[in-house]
């Protein structure tokens, strides 16, 4: 049976379909392929950053690495070969390298990086050490390179595409804690002395020549403890324990308050320099309540409504401190005032292991004649009568202010003072 004419056969065939353009969502769309490659590259850069923060680093190499810009033929997967630009800071150079980055193992959690060297692959540390030492030996001039023109490697990559490579000192955490503290304190410029009221940073000087002997640009303690939470947690205890904090007639309350209870308990050394009117300052702010009430000492602090609160506050804060050493500078202090000043200050702190005396920051020997009058124990009654007899009628306002109006009116009567002390014989005879 005939199949029919050619015209009828052509008409019987179905029309060929018209090819439509590729869908924007098609994986074969070149734009989508480029976008997926860029996403792979961004992920690979993040993996590289994780490696750079925790790897067996070269102790010599400082530089960076960044994968080449995205192309369809490039691969950015873990375990596969990826072309990157390796940049060295010193000696300054660029080089094209092939790397393989492997995911972390369960036991250590570290990414592993290998770099192509010749016909094989070596660890990143071995490769970077070898290249650094080779170029250093072959080209000892300031301008060294890896014999590759910079223009061949393209323009300078952006910061987001660059992964910094630098030495990581992993053994640091394996060092003894004392040595770690010494290294960190050296890094922040810590010195033996610190005067909080000046906020001039640490100093190697002691007292009177503080400003003149401070060199460079010292960093205040408050700034040091804001560098990072890790550094603060690590160094705070060591700083408060090993530093002698020096105070004159101001700044102590503010410093102890800002230090907080967690740091106050680590303070071990304090130096005080109150000058000529140390007696007045000690009676006002540090003396026991019984002595303060006996002399009826005016505080003359403003605002008046808070002056007694401040006295209670400084006494409570000092009562928390257990000092290894307390240093009292006797510059301008009357020798006769020293026994009661020392008795007041020793009692103001919870504990004082060693008491030192200094003059303009220079420590005095125990047998120095200038502090010979402080030896031996004297009761509060003896000390109070001695102060009252010497300053009860004194016209120097710096000493007469040790006594309130009521006590000054009775200044001619030592008998009245003794009567008042008998009301609390247990304390004043101690």
Q: Which residues of 86-109 are buried (b: 16+ CB within 10 A; e: fewer)?
A: bbbeebebbbebebbbeeeeeeee
pLDDT at 351 over 90: yes
**Torsion 118-121-122-124 (CA) sign:** positive
Q: Which residue has the higher pLDDT, 140 or 323?
A: 323
Q: For the ranges 151-155, 173-177, 189-193, 390-394, which has the lowest average pLDDT?
A: 151-155
Q: In the predicted model, what is the mean pLDDT of residues 299-328? A: 90
Residue found under tokens 């014999």: 147
Helices (H), 243-358: 252-264, 278-285, 289-295, 307-318, 338-348
Q: Could you report the per-residue pLDDT of 247-280, keeping only the tens digit for each?
A: 998 889 999 998 899 999 999 999 999 999 999 9
Bin 251: left if φ > 0, else alpha if -120 < ψ < 50, else beta: left
Q: In the predicted model, what is the mean pLDDT of residues 379-402? A: 88
Name the pairing type of β-strands 351-359 and 322-329.
Answer: parallel
Q: For the ranges 149-153, 268-272, 369-373, which has the lowest average pLDDT?
A: 149-153
Q: In the predicted model, what is the mean pLDDT of residues 144-157? A: 54
Of the segments 5-14, 262-271, 395-404, which one has the largest average pLDDT value? 262-271
Angle ∠(375,377,380) on CA atoms, nearest 5: 130
Long-range Cβ contact pairs of 151-156 (< 8 A, separation 24 or more): 152/96, 153/85, 153/94, 153/96, 154/68, 154/69, 154/85
Looking at residue 234, the DSSP 8-state letter turns out to be H
Q: What is the pTM of this model?
A: 0.63
Q: How would residue 218 be classed by pLDDT, with cut points 50, 70 and 90?
A: low
Bin 369: left if φ > 0, else alpha if -120 < ψ < 50, else beta: alpha
3-state secondary structure (DSSP) of residue 417:
helix
Residue found under tokens 């290998």: 114
Query: How far is the C-alpha of 64 from the C-alpha of 62, rounded, in Å?
Result: 7
Element (H, E) at 358: strand 351-359
CB atoms inside a 10 Å sphere around CB 141: 6
Element (H, E) at 42: helix 30-53
């Amino acid at each position: 049976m005939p199949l029919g004419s050619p015209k009828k056969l052509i008409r019987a065939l179905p029309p060929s379909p018209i090819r439509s353009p590729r869908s924007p969502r098609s994986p074969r769309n070149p734009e989508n392929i480029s976008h997926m490659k860029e996403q792979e590259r961004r992920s690979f850069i993040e993996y590289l950053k994780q490696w750079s923060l925790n790897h067996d680093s070269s102790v010599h190499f400082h530089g960076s690495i960044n994968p080449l810009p995205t192309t369809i033929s490039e691969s950015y997967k873990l375990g596969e070969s990826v072309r990157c630009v390796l940049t060295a800071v010193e000696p300054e150079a660029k080089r094209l390298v092939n790397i393989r980055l492997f995911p972390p193992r369960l036991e250590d959690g570290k990414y592993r990086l290998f770099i192509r060297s010749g016909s094989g692959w070596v660890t990143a540390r071995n490769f970077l050490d070898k290249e650094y030492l080779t170029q250093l030996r072959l080209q000892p001039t300031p301008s060294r390179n890896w014999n590759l023109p910079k223009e061949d490697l393209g323009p300078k990559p952006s910061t987001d595409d660059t992964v910094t490579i630098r030495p990581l000192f992993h053994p640091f955490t394996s060092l003894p804690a004392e040595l770690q503290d010494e290294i960190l304190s050296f890094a922040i410029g810590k010195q033996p002395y610190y005067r909080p009221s000046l906020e001039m940073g640490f100093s190697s000087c002691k007292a009177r020549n503080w400003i003149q002997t401070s060199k460079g640009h010292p960093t205040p303690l408050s700034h040091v403890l804001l560098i990072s939470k890790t550094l603060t947690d690590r160094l705070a205890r060591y700083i408060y324990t090993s530093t002698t904090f020096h105070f004159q007639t101001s700044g102590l309350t503010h410093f102890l308050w800002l230090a907080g209870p967690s740091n106050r308990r680590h303070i071990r050394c304090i130096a005080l320099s109150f000058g000529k009117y140390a007696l007045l300052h000690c009676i006002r702010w540090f003396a026991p309540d019984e002595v303060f009430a006996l002399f009826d000492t005016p505080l003359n602090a403003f605002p008046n409504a808070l002056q007694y609160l401040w006295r209670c506050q400084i006494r409570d804060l000092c009562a928390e401190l257990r000092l290894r050493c307390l240093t009292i500078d006797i510059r301008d202090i009357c020798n006769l005032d020293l026994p009661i000043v020392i008795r007041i200050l020793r009692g103001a702190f919870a504990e004082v292991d060693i008491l030192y005396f200094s003059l303009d920051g220079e420590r005095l020997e125990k047998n120095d004649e200038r502090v010979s009058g402080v030896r031996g124990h004297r009761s509060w009654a003896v000390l109070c009568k001695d102060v009252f007899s010497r300053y009860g009628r004194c016209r120097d306002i710096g000493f007469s202010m040790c006594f309130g109006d009521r006590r000054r009116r009775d200044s001619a009567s030592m008998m009245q003072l003794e009567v008042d002390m008998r009301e609390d014989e247990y304390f004043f005879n101690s």
